[in-house]
Amino acid sequence: MRNKLVIKKKSFLNKLFVKLIRKFGYEIIDQADLHIPSRNISANQNLSKSGEISISVPLGKTTITRKVKSLAIIIRSYTFGNTDNTKVMLDQNKKRIFDLPKIDYTLRTIKSVIKSCEIAKEFFKDTNIKIIITDDRSSKKNLDKINQLLNDTILSTQLINLKENEFNEKIKKIDTNGKTISENMISNMRNLYKSIEISENDDSDLFYFLEDDYIHTKEAITEMLFTYEKISTQLNQEIFLCPADYPYLYSTINNSKIFFGNMRHWRTVNESLITFLTSKKMINKYLDELKLMSTVRHHPMELKLHEIYDKEFCISPIPSLTMHATNINSTYGIPPNFDWDKIWYENKL
């Protein structure tokens, strides 16, 4: 009987102490099992609150001053051509990992992004998230498959078909090396221009420009949004964020600044492909450069983006949040130390 009374008294005092500590902005962690009694979660789970605080054990908390209000994800889709051609990478005579028609990569990309956004909405309840697909010349059969995925989610979605030859008059057919660019590259540039045009006229807070061969982890969008809030708050400025940990980043020795996002390390990079997240403010600031990237074929194509990174922070996660499903030997493809099979088959249709 005596022991029971002691236990009850201790439990009451613990609860009182927890409440008192929380009023001063602290949390209690049970060092025996890493349990946080006030929130009934473990210390190795996501402890942050969107738009309010970012918490990392044992680094403490960051009070968020740069809240993410809304996110528009623009996925550039193209699956045209015959069966053999759709297995070949854009502007290259190489096949992709898993050796399947392009539509398989497009559908898995869309499915993985939808799934990741639905999880992110659990943490960012007040943040409007929408997905826009800009498609160039996919067949009706493929468009029906894309629409089926979009119809199966409660997220706001839209499929936009580029008009025949839309923006063709804006695109220079000769690249900066004096060579004629391919039909596939023109399609890619048309689609990119459409994405930039949408962001120019849309009032969303953040924009995620995405190619249709990036398979995302479930936690990708959640980590990206929490990290954008945290790092932008710490730097007191807008940033660029690339979700892929590309192999080429390990082929040279470059200096990087290291940040801790929400549940991952992030490092500064000075190059990326044209899959990146940034703010409306940055788009307005560099609109001319972004449009130039979609009208003139530079070498590399992302040259104007890299020039922006010389002036602004661009960060990339370690380990990766997405798998760029290119050729197995591509230095811009599948990330190292990443379970490629798992992510691929998790998003099987």
**pLDDT tens, position by position, 142-152:** 999 999 999 99
CATH number at residue 145: 3.90.550.10
The answer to whether 220 and 243 are in contact (CB under 8 A) is yes
Q: How far apart are the first and last CA of the chain?
A: 60
C-alpha 237: how far from chain center: 19
In this structure, is residue 81 part of a structural domain? yes
Q: Per-residue pLDDT for 4 more than 60?
A: no
The answer to whether 329 and 278 are in contact (CB under 8 A) is no
Based on the fold, state whether residues 243 and 115 are members of the same structural domain.
yes
Based on the fold, state whether residues 16 and 133 are members of the same structural domain.
no
> Rounded to a whole number, what is the largest CA-CA distance in the chain?
91
Question: Which residue segment(s) compose the domain that 284 sits in?
Answer: 70-346
Alpha carbons 26 and 112: distance in angstroms, whole number: 36
Based on the fold, state whether residues 129 and 10 are members of the same structural domain.
no
Based on the fold, state whether residues 152 and 22 are members of the same structural domain.
no
Alpha carbons 289 and 293: distance in angstroms, whole number: 6
Q: Per-residue pLDDT for 121 more than 80?
A: yes
156: how many CB neighbours lie within 10 A of its CB?
A: 13
In this structure, is residue 60 part of a structural domain? no
Alpha helices by DSSP H, listed for the chain, are 2-23, 102-123, 140-151, 183-201, 220-235, 280-285, 287-293, 303-309, 340-346
In this structure, is residue 230 part of a structural domain? yes
- Structural domain tally of the chain? 2
Based on the fold, state whether residues 285 and 142 are members of the same structural domain.
yes
Based on the fold, state whether residues 33 and 74 are members of the same structural domain.
no
Q: Picking from 107-111, 121-125, 200-204, 327-331, which range would have the lowest pLDDT averaged per residue?
A: 327-331
Give the pLDDT score at 195.
98
In this structure, is residue 54 part of a structural domain? no
Give the HSE-up count for residue 221: Cα atoms under 13 Å, Cβ half-sphere: 34
Q: Picking from 6-10, 188-192, 286-290, 295-299, which range would have the lowest pLDDT averaged per residue?
A: 6-10
Give the HSE-up count for residue 122: Cα atoms under 13 Å, Cβ half-sphere: 10
Question: Inter-axis angle of helices 102-123 and 140-151, to 10 degrees?
Answer: 20
Would you give the DSSP letter of residue 168?
G
Give the pLDDT score at 52.
81
In this structure, is residue 77 part of a structural domain? yes
Amino acid letter for position 159: L
In this structure, is residue 227 part of a structural domain? yes
In this structure, is residue 58 part of a structural domain? no
**pLDDT tens, position by position, 305-319:** 999 999 999 999 999
Give the pLDDT score at 22.
60
In this structure, is residue 322 part of a structural domain? yes
Based on the fold, state whether residues 125 and 242 are members of the same structural domain.
yes
Based on the fold, state whether residues 38 and 159 are members of the same structural domain.
no
- Signed CA dihedral, 263, 267, 268, 269: sign only: negative
Based on the fold, state whether residues 227 and 291 are members of the same structural domain.
yes
When comparing pLDDT for 83 and 15, which is higher?
Answer: 15
Based on the fold, state whether residues 40 and 162 are members of the same structural domain.
no
Based on the fold, state whether residues 39 and 74 are members of the same structural domain.
no
Give the residue among 271, 324, 268 at the shortest CA–CA distance from 301. 271
Residues above pLDDT 90, as percent of the chain: 74
Based on the fold, state whether residues 101 and 10 are members of the same structural domain.
no
- Look up the pTM and report it: 0.88
